[in-house]
Structure 1
Amino acid sequence: MKMIKQLSLLMAMGVTVISLQGCSPEVGTKAWCEELKEKPKGDWTANEAKDFAKSCIF
């Protein structure tokens, strides 16, 4: 019974993570550019910086 509760909890956590990932705007869109502008530049990944330069500046 304990194992079933643990599996249920893990599944619920997985669904929550998957649903949160769907909330981010698509890379390169105006909404994504605006979201990234608000994020501290020190928290940007290298890929975000590259995509921002390619999609939002040029």
Structure 2
Amino acid sequence: MSTMYTQIENVESYIYMGQRYSTRNKNQDKEIQRRITAGWTAFAKHRDNFKGNI
């Protein structure tokens, strides 16, 4: 019987269900900046929809 092992990578931060988690820094500045950037990116994708009279 052979046993399979999966090596788990040790990381400083990761995104889970849309929120950044950090193992070292408890400061939320990076998470806030990431969400702001994601919001502007989504807005920019639909920029043409917001031009002109609605």
TM-score normalised according to structure 2 size: 0.42
Name the one with the larger strand percent. Answer: 2
Larger C-alpha radius of gyration, 1 or 2?
A: 2
Structure number with greater CO (CA < 8 Å, separation at least 6) is: 1
TM-score (norm: length of structure 1): 0.39
Structure with bigger helix share is 1
